[in-house]
């Protein structure tokens, strides 16, 4: 039996694909590179969420209006803490953050390699579709549970912003 026939792992790539058909993989890698660079530049907000506000973005509307987190609250802080090597705080800020960043990183790196070598990353298989559905369902279920179980999520400065917005 030839070595190529004996490989235990099936290939995650389709070979011989024109490079212009792989531009999505290059874009994914570029986005990962930009997000990782931004995370390296930022400092995680010690509150556990709100790091995106350092980029000039507004606070989360869910936090301001309901004093409860949306499903994504803490992801920027989690990813920033992870890039800075603070794994415990990354999981504290958003328990799914390090897992999602790991998946994002793997797909981006595999896609970038595929782009450079002219191979399409197989993301269209039934297995990948099922795993993506499971990940999305887990994120939504987690988000709903967290919204229901975490009142008084807003930091003091966020509460003050909300109160000031109600003033005429």
Q: Tens of pLDDT along 4-38?
A: 544 545 688 998 889 899 999 999 999 999 999 99
Calculated CA dihedral for residues 164, 49, 79, 25, nearest 10 degrees: -40
Query: Which pLDDT does position 10 carry in this prediction?
Result: 65
Residues 75-118: tens digit of each pLDDT: 999 999 999 999 999 999 999 999 999 999 999 999 999 999 99
pLDDT tens per residue, range 149-167: 998 888 888 878 777 777 7
122 in the Ramachandran plot: left (φ > 0), alpha (ψ -120 to 50) or beta? Answer: beta
For 148, the token pair is 């229901």
- List CB contacts of 165: < 8 A, sequence separation 6 or more: 64
Which of 86, 80, 25, 30 is closest to 50 using CA atoms? 80
Tokens linked to 79: 């990813």
Name the DSSP class of 55. G
Nearest CA to 86 out of 98, 99, 103, 96 is that of 98
pLDDT tier at 130 (50, 70, 90 boundaries)? Answer: very high
This prediction has a pTM of: 0.85
Interatomic CA distance for residues 152 and 131, integer angstroms: 33
Judge whether 81 and 90 are in contact, CB under 8 Å.
Answer: yes
Closest CA to 39 of 97, 110, 95: 97
């Amino acid at each position: 039996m030839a070595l190529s026939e004996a490989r235990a792992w099936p290939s995650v790539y389709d070979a011989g694909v024109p490079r212009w058909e792989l531009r999505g993989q290059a874009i994914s890698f570029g986005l990962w590179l930009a997000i990782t660079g931004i995370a390296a530049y930022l400092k995680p907000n010690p509150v556990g969420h709100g790091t995106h506000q350092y980029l000039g973005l507004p606070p989360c509307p869910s936090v301001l209006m309901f004093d409860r987190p949306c499903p994504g609250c803490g992801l920027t802080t989690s990813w920033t803490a992870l890039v800075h090597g603070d794994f415990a705080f990354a999981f504290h800020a958003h328990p799914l953050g390090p897992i999602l960043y790991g998946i994002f990183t793997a797909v981006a790196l595999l896609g970038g390699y595929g782009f450079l070598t002219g191979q399409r990353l197989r993301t269209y298989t039934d297995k990948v579709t099922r795993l993506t559905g499971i990940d999305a369902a887990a994120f939504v279920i987690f988000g709903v549970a967290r919204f229901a179980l975490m009142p008084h999520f807003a930091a003091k400065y966020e509460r003050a912003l909300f109160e000031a917005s109600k003033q005429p």
